[in-house]
């Protein structure tokens, strides 16, 4: 099976695949030949929540072209669960989010993920479990664009410790949420966070236009 990719640019979504996914929302196919990713991003302007797709027999090759046109930034984060079965969420810069951050020089993804959760919420991770997924999103960077790749991991925490949000990172709240409370964050979070929650099976019955097209695989 060919690798499939999903890249978020604000609220817009760019798919890269060998066929059109089944979506509830409309999707616009783009010309793969000579595709200029920075120009595409520039042309999006203020538009949001639109789906686009690049189709080819070798999606990985197309993705590599897109990646080479951006500054690649690696990040890692975690979905942490307490001993009471509640999940750790943060409120950062006006949005619900999961703790995550950029890798330090020479740092491995799985190490960075634990470090970021601990630093941003003032807790200690007892166990890092399997990788859930990886997500991609793009934002303006210097005179071009950065492509941020984030690896997400499940984590366990002993007990349910008091949370200390890292305010210098724009985090104003850190809370433990019951599974049934999680859907309440969907109206004010990022599409990539929805991907993580879907992968973790924390949004039962949740259907979105992009849910039918899985994120990049764990590998």
- Indicate whether 207 belongs to any domain: no
- Indicate whether 212 belongs to any domain: no
Give the model's pLDDT for residue 206: 58
pTM for the structure as a whole: 0.90
Give the model's pLDDT for residue 47: 65
> Does 61 share its domain with 83?
no
Q: What angle do CA 141, 144, 147 make, to 5 degrees?
A: 65
> Does 135 share its domain with 104?
yes
CATH number, domain of 91, equals 3.90.79.10
Distance of CA 69 to the CA centre of its chain: 20
Number of domains the chain is built from:
2
Give the model's pLDDT for residue 216: 44
- Indicate whether 219 belongs to any domain: no
- Indicate whether 211 belongs to any domain: no
- Indicate whether 157 belongs to any domain: yes
> Does 152 share its domain with 103?
yes
pLDDT per residue as tens, the chain (219 positions): 568 999 999 889 999 999 988 765 789 999 999 999 999 999 997 667 899 999 999 999 999 999 999 999 999 999 999 999 999 999 999 999 999 999 999 999 999 999 999 999 999 999 999 999 999 999 999 999 999 999 999 999 999 999 999 999 999 999 999 999 999 999 999 999 999 999 999 997 554 444 445 544 444
Three state DSSP letters for the chain: CCCCEEEEECCEEEEEECCCCCCCCCEEECCCCCCCHHHHHHHHCCCCCCEEEEECCCHHHHHHHHHHCCEEEEEEEEEEECCCCCEEEEEECCEEECCEEECCCCCCHHHHHHHHHHHHHCCCCCEEEEEEEEEEEEEEECCEEEEEEEEEEEEECCCCCCCCCCHHHCEEEEEEECHHHHHHHHHHECHHHHHHHHHCCCCCCCCCCCCCCCCCCCC
> Does 99 share its domain with 132?
yes
> Does 56 share its domain with 103?
no
Give the model's pLDDT for residue 2: 67
Give the model's pLDDT for residue 217: 46
Give the model's pLDDT for residue 212: 46
Give the structural domain span for 83: 72-199
- Indicate whether 215 belongs to any domain: no
Give the model's pLDDT for residue 204: 72
Give the model's pLDDT for residue 210: 44
């Amino acid at each position: 099976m060919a690798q499939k990719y999903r890249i978020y640019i604000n609220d817009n979504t760019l798919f890269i695949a060998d066929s059109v996914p089944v979506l509830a929302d409309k999707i616009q196919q783009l010309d793969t030949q000579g595709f200029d990713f920075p120009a595409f991003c520039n042309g999006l302007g203020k538009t949001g929540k639109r789906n686009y797709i690049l189709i080819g027999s070798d999606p990985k090759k197309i993705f590599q072209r897109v990646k080479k046109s951006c500054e690649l930034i690696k990040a890692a984060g975690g979905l942490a669960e307490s001993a009471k079965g509640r999940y750790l969420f943060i409120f950062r810069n006006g949005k619900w989010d999961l703790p995550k951050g950029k890798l330090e020089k020479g740092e491995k993804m799985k190490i960075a993920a634990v470090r970021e959760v601990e630093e941003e919420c003032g807790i200690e991770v007892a166990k890092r479990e399997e990788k859930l997924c990886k997500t991609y999103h793009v934002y303006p960077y210097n005179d071009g664009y950065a492509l941020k790749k984030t690896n997400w991991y499940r984590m366990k925490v002993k007990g349910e410790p008091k949370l200390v949000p890292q305010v210098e990172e724009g985090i104003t709240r850190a809370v433990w949420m019951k599974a049934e409370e999680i859907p309440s964050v969907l109206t004010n979070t990022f599409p990539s966070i929805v991907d993580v929650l879907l992968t973790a099976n924390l949004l039962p019955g949740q259907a979105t236009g992009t849910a039918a097209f899985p994120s990049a695989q764990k590998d």
